[in-house]
Amino acid sequence: MNDFSHLKKLEVSGKTAEYPLFQIAGEPVLIMKPATEANKPYFNMVLRRSRRSMQAVKSGALSQKMIKENREEDKNLYPKHVITGWKNMPDSKGKDVPFSEKACTEFLEALPDWIFDEVRNFAGTSSNFSGEQIDVGEKLGN
């Protein structure tokens, strides 16, 4: 029997990753869970949302309005299911803001869409949460 147990290290369920917001002065850092199937509470909410828009997508009626609505829904879901904390998060006066769901929601509402889209891209990429990559050649002794 072959042993592929080394691949378990690449599972992302239950893991977090840090995303530095280099676009913002002081480079605050978001601590996030994946916004993928590995994050069941988030993924279940996304599935519910997709049922509502499935007909429009099937008919090719994907619109800028739908994209904006999905982004706004994610701005509500991320503080509940994806963003679990942050570091070095100043308010407009430079005062450090402790993490809370409410503060995170306020932050995401103020964040420009293009930056939030980058946050979503990071959170939606499983490899950002795997923690390490396995060198198969090294594992095999090559």
In a domain, 5, yes or no: no
Contacts of 33 (CB under 8 A, 6+ apart): 15, 16, 39, 42, 81, 82, 84, 123, 129
For 51-85, what is each residue's pLDDT tens digit? 666 666 566 666 788 778 889 999 999 999 999 99
Residue 11 lies in a domain: no
Q: Which residues pair with 89 in a beta bridge?
A: none
State the burial class of residue 83 (Cβ atoms within 10 Å of its Cβ: 0-12, 13-18, 19+): buried
Establish if 137 belongs to a structural domain: no
Give domain status of residue 58, yes or no. yes
In the three-class reduction of DSSP (H, G, I as helix; E, B as strand; rest coil), residue 30 is classed as strand
- Domain residues for 92? 16-130
Q: What is residue 18's three-state secondary structure?
A: strand
Provide the 8-state DSSP code for 96.
Answer: B
Within a domain: 135: no
Count of structural domains within the chain: 1
For residue 114, being part of any structural domain is answered with yes
User: Is 53 inside a domain boundary?
Assistant: yes
Token pair listed for 30: 């978001």
- At 4-58, the pLDDT tens digits run 877 777 777 778 999 999 999 889 999 999 999 989 999 998 888 776 666 665 6
C-alpha to C-alpha distance for 128 and 35, rounded to whole angstroms: 11
Give dist(CA 93, CA 5) in Å, integer: 50
Tell me, yes or no, whether 113 lies in a domain: yes
Beta strands in the chain (DSSP E): 17-20, 29-32, 83-87
